[in-house]
Structure 1
Amino acid sequence: MSGRTDSDTRTETAEVDGAAGMHDADDADEDDEDPAVEARRARWTATGTGALLSLAGLAAALLRLSGAAPVLVPAAYAVGAAVCAFAAVLGSRGRTRRALWLLIVGTMIMALGDQFD
């Protein structure tokens, strides 16, 4: 036996639970960020993703244009890149939900064009 009584273990358990409760409160404060910060982060994400996908689509269109692929393939990449560029513009203006859907559509157009190769 360790010499502890039941009341000693209950006190230690309460202290541990209290410390965990304080830690949970700190995490809750970090999760409740300012809506303006979240909106700014969403705009930057939509703009950056749209720019990246449009550059990738243009690079793929140029590579496929110089190869022996059918004309539909580089055209699909170029159209998909244009849609993603438009999504980047919308994302920078705060229309992040529409930008997300346009990014999905632009990527699907590029993927569909790749299927014709």
Structure 2
Amino acid sequence: MSGRTDSDAEPAIAEADAPEEPDAPHGHVADAQDVADDEDAEDAEDADGARRARWTAAGTGGLLCLAGCAAALLRLTGSAPALVPVAYAVGAAPCALAAVLGARGRTRRSLWLLVAGTAVMALGDQFD
């Protein structure tokens, strides 16, 4: 292959020759402040998403914990085998832990604890 690379062939483009942004006013060139504002907006959206995930994990964990405890108490007073209310109570424990971890921002661990707790409660329901 012959010839030289194009990396040094073109002079650097001056800021005045930079292309305009499509939504910028006529003659306006994007500067560092515009880029920083865009990054701040993205950071705010990420923070909102993380906050929403924490609230969802904490709320779901609390709700499943209450449901498991209520089901354990209802099955305890009924004629179900002893293993059924125990399974509901044991399944509610990881859901309570998931609520705490979710509130602290550990949403992935919280999700897996919610899955495990719900699976234990569902398995216990099969013994009825």
1:3 corresponding residue in structure 2? none
Q: Distance in 2 between matches of 1:55 and 1:75?
A: 14
Report the counterpart of residue 69 of structure 2 in structure 1.
58
Q: Aligned residue for 2:113?
A: 102
Following TM superposition, the consecutive aligned residue runs of length 4 or more in structure 1 with deviations greater than 6 angstroms are none
Matching residue's letter, 1:113: G
Whole-Å separation in 1 of the counterparts to 2:115 and 2:98: 10
Give the length in aligned residue pairs. Answer: 88
| TM-score between the two structures when normalised by the length of structure 1 | 0.72
Query: Could you say which structure has the greater relative contact order, defined with CA pairs below 8 angstroms and 6 or more residues apart?
Result: 1
Map 1:1-117 onto structure 2 (within 5 A): 34-117=45-128
Distance in 2 between the 1:39 and 1:78 partners? 30
Structure 1 SS opposite 2:88? helix
One-letter amino acid of the counterpart of residue 75, structure 1: V
Q: Using the alignment, how far apart are the partners of 2:107 and 2:97 within structure 1?
A: 12
Q: Note the residue ranges of structure 2 that are not aligned, 5 or more in a row.
A: 1-22, 24-37
Residue identity in the other structure for 1:72: L
The percentage of counterpart residues that share the same residue type is 74
* Unmatched segments (≥5 aa) in structure 1: 1-21, 23-28
Which residue identity is paired with 1:102?
L
Larger relative helix fraction:
1
Please say which structure displays the higher CA radius of gyration.
2
Task: Give the aligned residue type for 1:54.
Answer: C
Distance 1:36 1:101 in 2: 22
